[in-house]
Structure 1
Amino acid sequence: MNNINILVVDDEIEICNLIKNALKKQGYAVTIRNNAIDISKEELNKFDLILLDVMMPTVDGFTLCRDIRDEVDCPIIFITAKTMEEDILEGFSIGADDYIKKPFSILELRARVEAHLRREHREKQQVLLTNELKFNLKSKEIYFNDEKILLTKGEYKICEYLARHKGQVFTLEQIFIEVYGFDKDSDSSCIREHIKNIRAKLTKYIESPITTVWGIGYKWI
């Protein structure tokens, strides 16, 4: 159970604390959010399971689930007092994996969470979200607001490598080896030109996240 991260989203602080204490005793790391608007899409990929209340102010659980389902691969379990059949069916139709009805027992909560984590074999969609950019790690494409950014194969590899290691500085040689391997008939100086081109393409959408660390190399900020 080590290194399992669970997100709990519920506007009732008492319920959040109850869930957190119950799951922490099982060895899980638990993050609480009392409002859906406080959740950053960039942080969603770190969670292995999401427990989501349906009836919340501002943004309800159904809306949040619709918004994030295509971008997260983990199980989503609704915790709700809404037990009408049409509500349950709606939840499943938008991507929920299960329901826990309020009031619930700690034993039921733990059992359902453990069951979903054990049988979680969903094919990963492999999405990386960072700096307002969406990386599709399968198709090797980058999007800004669903608009594809046109990059060469080498440019994409540089972006993915740096973005996966956000904040870490890499030399030209390290980036070159990652992108081209050891046998490429060229030298690492070509990386400078690639990064120049990447910056020009990205700045049409956002401020380029690739920064120069003088005397060392580059990093994704």
Structure 2
Amino acid sequence: MAKILIVDDDSDMLDLVRRALAKDGHQIHTETDGQRLSPERCQQYDLILLDVMMPGEDGFSVCCRIRTEVDCPILFLTARTEDAALVQGFGLGADDYIKKPFSLAELRARVNAHIRRESRLPAHILKRGGVRFDMQAKTAFAQEHALPFTKGEYAICEYLALHAGQVFTKELLYEAIFGFDAEGNSSAIAEHIKNIRAKLKVCSLNPVETVWGVGYKWRKDNPV
């Protein structure tokens, strides 16, 4: 059972999502005003569902304000799936998005996939491509400097590094990491990869390789 916060100014939507997730035994809390969310309050949750289009402070602004102090997955509920909106959302630290309108089955599957991923605690160190993965703490380092990956970015890097040299399509990556393949997943993976590369480039690293027309792989010839 996870403790989940749902933030949406639509009370009918809040009630619908609350009842759907409660069926899986989760403890659900709701909020209609993003401005009332403090990082301290958000730290108590295992996952946050955050509507993008809200009056006052929108979901993007809320995510930006709390992300540096909140470690749990943040999933956007949004009707905005154009590339610019996705780039903005993932750049602010979101782990995923769920497109409105969505089915309750998809909602429950996506939420539970993220929660299952959070509960996995492998207990060893992996070193590949100039990056050292602490697979228990779910952190990555380059030359002893912590890489500022979001949880989704870290999970993608860890999975690719564990299977170095193997090529994965965007769809396979999403399903392997988040456990549920749905419309829009390819865009999510592409934006995560873009952010990963930007953060690795700061350390002069580029282990994630694009295989054009197929997908992505972690270069096998770069062990450390």
Compute the TM-score of the two structures, normalised by the length of structure 1: 0.53
Match of 2:21 among 20, 23, 32: 23
Query: Counterparts in 2 of 1:61-210, with a 5 A limit?
Result: 61-120=59-118, 123=137
Question: Which string of whole-angstrom CA distances, capped at 9 and with x for unpartnered residues, describes residues 73-127 of structure 1?
Answer: 10000000111111011111110000100000000000000110111269479xx
Tell me what 2:181 maps to: none
Secondary structure at 1:58's aligned position in 2? coil
Matches of 1:114 and 1:24, distance apart in 2: 12
Q: How many residues align?
A: 123
Cα 1:102–1:34 change in 2 (3 A) is: same
Shift of 1:40: 3.1
Contact 1:10 1:56 in 2 (8 A): yes
Matches of 2:4 and 2:113, distance apart in 1: 14
Structure 1 residue ranges without an equivalent (≥5): 126-221
Tell me what 1:13 maps to: 11
Secondary structure at 1:18's aligned position in 2? helix
Matches of 1:56 and 1:62, distance apart in 2: 10
Structure 2 residue ranges without an equivalent (≥5): 121-135, 140-224
Secondary structure at 2:50's aligned position in 1? strand
Match of 1:55 among 27, 37, 53: 53
AA at the equivalent of 1:61? G
Contact 1:49 1:117 in 2 (8 A): yes
Matches of 1:40 and 1:69, distance apart in 2: 11
Compute the TM-score of the two structures, normalised by the length of structure 2: 0.53
Larger relative contact order, structure 1 or 2 (CA cutoff 8 Å, min sep 6): 2
Matches of 1:30 and 1:37, distance apart in 2: 19
Tell me what 2:211 maps to: none
The CA RMSD over aligned residues, in Å, is 1.6
Secondary structure at 1:119's aligned position in 2? helix
AA at the equivalent of 1:99? Y
Larger radius of gyration: 1
Tell me what 2:40 maps to: 42
Shift of 1:41: 2.7
Contact 1:73 1:124 in 2 (8 A): no
